[in-house]
């Protein structure tokens, strides 16, 4: 039997789905770009592929960021409620952190396609 959705589930599920969707799309765009770059010897066309992918990846990342912000706000609001389930908030906070880490990893992997960019290392604590 399914448990009834909690208030926090209802508020955070759409944002978590949007964040996961953005991450999957970034991964897909990276794979597409890899195939395009592999089959292209002309520098101008390679640059065009990179430019197009950059725009699409940026839009996906922005969608993910907005979704993250919505879920984080829902978590803060839930934690402020007097009847909040602290354990549920803690689990949801970890789920959000994991989703954010997956998106950041997808972005870092995609950034490797840019030969002029040095590897990005997250500052301590991120």
Using the predicted structure, report yes or no on whether residue 1 has a pLDDT greater than 50: no
Contacts within 8 Å (CB) and 24+ apart, 69-77:
70/14, 70/15, 70/18, 71/11, 71/12, 71/15, 71/16, 71/19, 71/96, 72/96, 74/8, 74/11, 74/12, 74/15, 75/8, 75/12, 77/11
Q: With bands split at pLDDT 50, 70 and 90, how would you rate the model's confidence at 55? A: very high
Distance of CA 59 to the CA centre of its chain: 11
State pLDDT tens for residues 56-98: 999 999 999 999 999 999 999 999 988 888 999 999 999 999 9
State pLDDT tens for residues 5-42: 787 888 899 999 999 999 999 999 999 999 999 988 99
């Amino acid at each position: 039997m399914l448990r009834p959705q909690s208030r926090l589930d209802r508020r955070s599920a759409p944002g978590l789905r949007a964040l996961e969707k953005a991450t999957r799309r970034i991964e897909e765009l990276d794979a597409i770009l890899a195939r395009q770059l592999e089959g292209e010897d002309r520098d101008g066309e390679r640059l065009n592929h990179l430019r197009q992918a950059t725009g699409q990846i940026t839009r996906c990342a922005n969608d993910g960021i907005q979704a993250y912000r919505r879920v984080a706000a829902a978590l803060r609001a839930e934690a402020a409620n007097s009847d909040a389930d602290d354990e549920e908030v803690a689990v949801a906070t970890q789920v959000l952190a994991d989703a954010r880490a997956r998106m950041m990893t997808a972005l870092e992997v995609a950034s490797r396609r840019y030969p002029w960019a040095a590897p990005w290392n997250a500052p301590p604590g991120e």
